[in-house]
Structure 1
């Protein structure tokens, strides 16, 4: 077995080159695997959209779950956010949060897309059960926008 030469052993050790990241590491999204979280993180940083920004999917999923976790059996009414034009404040409206989730879904690879869709399926079912249909909305709107809402969030 070859061995190191004495001169190579006496030479000063090299200092490793520090690794720098231009993008911070992804945050853990509860209920999703780290692989799916990484795929979402990449999609949020590679694509720009009105509802899509770094961390938007985690916030939107949290908001969607928070809205549906309200106790009781009475109907829930989504509320418009106070500042719907602002991407961060727009997530106060659960319909905008669901828009964000719908926007990131097609950008994901097949495995991550399937896992996020499996996570959304029971939430969507609960949303349909706890909200009432609004016959006045346009038929072209996504189904989560065709539910009765009231007022503005925070008023």
Structure 2
């Protein structure tokens, strides 16, 4: 009895390259490698239960806040609708909290790459904002900075 060719055995199952893509690739996080972006997207979906791209949006929010020209102090503003996930990131402190949660949810190598990206942002945030002497000491350090007003008012 003749032997079946290997290609004939694999044909009914389909090859890897012939398999149709069911979903688009996950969005890439600005400033991170593809492997770390994939780990961040997995953490967004599986651990943090966030919308895709939330970490990228938080990262861009922090960069945008710190990109203000000059050397004068910056004052974070509270989000008008802090309970809704879309508006919560208007407050740069909430964006930094989301990035800290993401760091805790990542495996070691993606965590180190993301922390290297966040280190200069945290240094600039610390240098450009003023400490609040009356802030609650149980809050993270980025929440214990002087704030001003509400975003959108």
- TM-score interval, normalised by the smaller of the two chains: 0.7 to 0.9
What's the counterpart of residue 95 of structure 1? 93
Equivalences for 1:111-150 in 2 at 5 Å? 111-150=109-148
Q: Deviations over 1:83-114 (max 9, x none)?
A: 00001100000000001101111111111000
- Structure 1 residue 17 displacement after superposition: 5.2
Using the size of structure 1 for normalisation, the TM-score is 0.84
* 1:19–1:53 Cα change, 3 Å: closer
Q: CA deviation at 1:152?
A: 0.5
Number of residues paired by the alignment?
141
For the aligned residue pairs, the C-alpha RMSD in angstroms reads: 2.0
CA distance in 1 between partners of 2:27 and 2:137 (Å): 37
> Gaps (5+ residues) in structure 1?
9-13
TM-score (norm 2): 0.85
Segments of structure 2 that go 5 or more residues without pairing to the other structure are 9-13
1:17/1:110 Cα in 2 relative to 1: closer, same or farther (>3 Å)?
closer
Between the aligned partners of 1:90 and 1:142, the Cα distance in structure 2 is: 17
In structure 2, how many angstroms separate the alpha carbons of the residues matched to 1:53 and 1:47? 12
Q: Tell me if the contact between 2:29 and 2:53 (Cα under 8 Å) persists in the aligned partners.
A: no
Distance 1:111 1:149, change over 3 A: same
State the Cα distance separating 1:18 from its structure 2 match.
3.0
